[in-house]
Amino acid sequence: MIKIGYYFSEGFGVPQDKEKAVEWYLKAAEEGEERAMLALGIAYEMGEGVPQDDAKSFDWYLKAAKAEISDIDLNSCEKWIEITWMHVGNCYFEGKGVTKDEYKAFEWFKKAADAGFVKAMIKVGGGYHLGLGVKKDNIKAFEWFKKAADAKELNGIYFVGGCYDMGWGVKKDYFKAVDWYRKAARLGHEDAKKRLVEMGEIW
């Protein structure tokens, strides 16, 4: 059923119809299909096929996020569960559809990061760096930024450069900072390019 909803949502083989897509997602969700719950969360967040409603969006994200992990193969679920955890974390962080709670947001980001979701690693690193939802710890911030960088996440590469540049959680090292900034700049990171210019370096 979720595939039928997707076909209507994207107009694959049928006329595009967001409202019909939601109808099929709802049928699948009522059968316990967590990916359909995620799709409904997105639909309500974006106002596609239904009136925009942050509270309903959060409710569907949370239902999907509470899927039993024992029933999920993280190597074959195409990252949908980690994406769901990120959506729940973002809702708590921004106060969208639920009372703002940086601590709960961090818990969900950390859950996704521990499962290997690189976008979540940036959120966790940022949480430790700024003390958002967790005690400030620049050593742990650097570790998470480095994990993201090792997974070729662009902001992770930039933030590792920033850590070496400013001495956040690691010994300050001008040359390592330049090296990481260059890696980010050559991949198109505009802030990395600006920082290299400020340092009198080329990228």
Q: How far apart are the first and last CA of the chain?
A: 50
- The residue assigned the tokens 């570790």 is 143
HSE-up of residue 49 (Cα within 13 Å, Cβ side): 23
Task: With beta carbons less than 8 A apart as the criterion, state whether 26 and 35 touch.
Answer: no
Q: Is the pLDDT of residue 64 over 80?
A: yes
If you average pLDDT over residues 120-124, what whole number do you get?
97
Nearest Cα residue to 155 out of 125, 184, 117: 184
Query: How does pLDDT run across 32-56, given as a tens digit for each residue?
Result: 898 999 999 999 999 999 999 999 9
Inform me whether the pLDDT recorded for 61 exceeds 60: yes
Q: Do 203 and 186 touch, CB atoms closer than 8 A?
A: yes
Tell me what pLDDT residue 197 has: 97
Residues of the chain with pLDDT > 90, as a percent, come to 84
Question: Which SS3 state, helix, strand or coil, does residue 12 take?
Answer: coil
Mean pLDDT of 139-152: 98
- Write down the pLDDT at residue 71: 47
